[in-house]
């Protein structure tokens, strides 16, 4: 009987020892994970315009980022909220204490120049980057009027589809190995300048239009004018070109700019005059109707190419190529 008790007691002791050994092993394993996989180095790859520091600081905002295994799990198994300029993130272990963050940035479509710097936007019009020096190989988009220019905010124009249009055009130009001197957009239509040749592409069907440009521009070398492709499509046979007088066009553009500035100044003066009149009316108890003159916006006349007297203007048609 006594021997049976000792046998049961020994069995219990052995089970306790086994549990303690397992717990001790788990503790050692846990400490090894904490110590061995403690994040000592974060390497960032894939960036073209953003800085490594910005990405590293973003990763370290998570207190658990001190462990490399956690980072591997988080960016592989979860869907964390990414920085506005990031499209995709992949994490790999270089060593137990070192990780590499491979970042795919959102593709920049173009940039808008302002007094305070350059604002770079993606195909949705989101400002993903800002700096004081223009990036190489990124086109400057002129002519767009936007309400607000702010990092990680949406640019608002007359038609936000224009950003996707600009992306289409720039990709097609790259495919055809064409590099325009200027890219303009009024918020809807896209216009290109190759030297003294203005190419009006309109607001769609760019694939059929851009593919014609290398051959047509080759025929127009040394000339000045407007290549009208706004309504060109796959079924069109001819492309219209209007020759213009460079000096007359420059004078016209300067006059239009001066008129626009005068109109803007007049509008400001009217606003100031209206404000002063309102203050005087409140003081005198009277309302002065009809303060200032109204600017007739319909007085802005459109371009009339080929109508300048004394210029060597004319219109030619070029047959489109079949592709």
pLDDT of residue 268 exceeding 70, the answer is no
Residue 147 is predicted with a pLDDT of: 78
Strand locations in 110-168, DSSP E?
Answer: 110-114, 117-121, 127-131, 141-142
Please name every residue paired with 101 in a beta bridge, in sequence order, or none if there are none. Answer: 44, 91
To the question of pTM greater than 0.75 for the whole model, the response is no
What single DSSP character describes residue 126? B
Q: What is d(CA 16, CA 10) in angstroms, rounded to the nearest whole number?
A: 10
pLDDT of residue 248 exceeding 70, the answer is no
pLDDT one-digit tens code per residue, 165-205? 888 999 999 999 999 988 998 878 899 999 899 999 998 89
Mean pLDDT is lowest, of 30-44, 97-111, 122-136, 292-306, for: 292-306
Q: What is d(CA 283, CA 280) in angstroms, rounded to the nearest whole number?
A: 5
The structure tokens listed for 103 are 């970042």
pLDDT of residue 292 exceeding 50, the answer is no
Higher pLDDT, 150 or 28: 150
Q: What is d(CA 203, CA 187) in angstroms, rounded to the nearest whole number?
A: 10
Residue 71 is predicted with a pLDDT of: 92
pLDDT one-digit tens code per residue, 91-145? 999 998 899 999 999 999 899 988 888 999 998 899 999 998 888 888 889 888 8
What single DSSP character describes residue 153? S
pLDDT of residue 34 exceeding 80, the answer is no
What single DSSP character describes residue 298? G
Residue 291 is predicted with a pLDDT of: 34
**Largest interatomic CA distance in the chain:** 130
pLDDT of residue 90 exceeding 60, the answer is yes
Residue 33 is predicted with a pLDDT of: 63
């Amino acid at each position: 009987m006594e021997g049976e008790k000792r046998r049961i007691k020994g069995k219990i002791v052995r089970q306790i020892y086994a549990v303690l050994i397992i717990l001790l092993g788990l503790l050692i394993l846990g400490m090894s994970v904490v110590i061995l996989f403690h994040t000592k180095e974060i390497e960032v790859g894939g960036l073209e315009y953003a800085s490594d520091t910005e990405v590293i600081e973003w990763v370290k905002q998570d207190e658990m980022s001190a462990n490399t295994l956690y980072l591997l799990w988080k960016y592989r198994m979860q869907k964390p909220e990414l920085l506005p300029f990031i499209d995709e993130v992949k994490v790999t272990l270089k060593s137990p204490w070192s990780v590499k963050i491979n970042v795919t940035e959102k593709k920049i479509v173009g940039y808008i120049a302002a007094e305070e710097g350059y604002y770079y936007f993606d195909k949705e019009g989101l400002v993903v980057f800002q700096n004081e020096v223009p990036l190489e190989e990124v086109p400057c988009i002129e002519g767009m009027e936007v309400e607000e220019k702010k990092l990680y905010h949406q640019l608002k124009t007359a038609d936000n589809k224009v950003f996707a249009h600009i992306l289409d055009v720039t990709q097609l130009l790259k495919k055809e190995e064409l590099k325009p001197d200027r890219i303009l957009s009024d918020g809807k239509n896209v216009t290109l300048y190759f030297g003294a040749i203005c190419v009006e592409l309109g607001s769609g069907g760019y694939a059929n239009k851009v593919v014609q440009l290398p051959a047509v521009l080759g025929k127009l070398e040394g000339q000045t004018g407007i290549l009208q492709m706004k309504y060109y499509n796959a079924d069109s046979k001819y492309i219209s070109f209007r020759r213009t007088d460079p000096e007359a066009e420059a004078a016209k553009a300067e006059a239009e700019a001066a008129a626009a500035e005068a109109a803007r100044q007049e509008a400001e003066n009217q606003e100031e005059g209206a404000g002063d009149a309102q203050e005087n009316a409140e003081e005198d108890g009277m309302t002065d109707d009809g303060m200032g003159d109204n600017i007739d916006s319909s007085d802005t006349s459109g371009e009339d190419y080929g109508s300048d007297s004394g210029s060597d203007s004319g219109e030619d048609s070029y047959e489109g190529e079949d592709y």
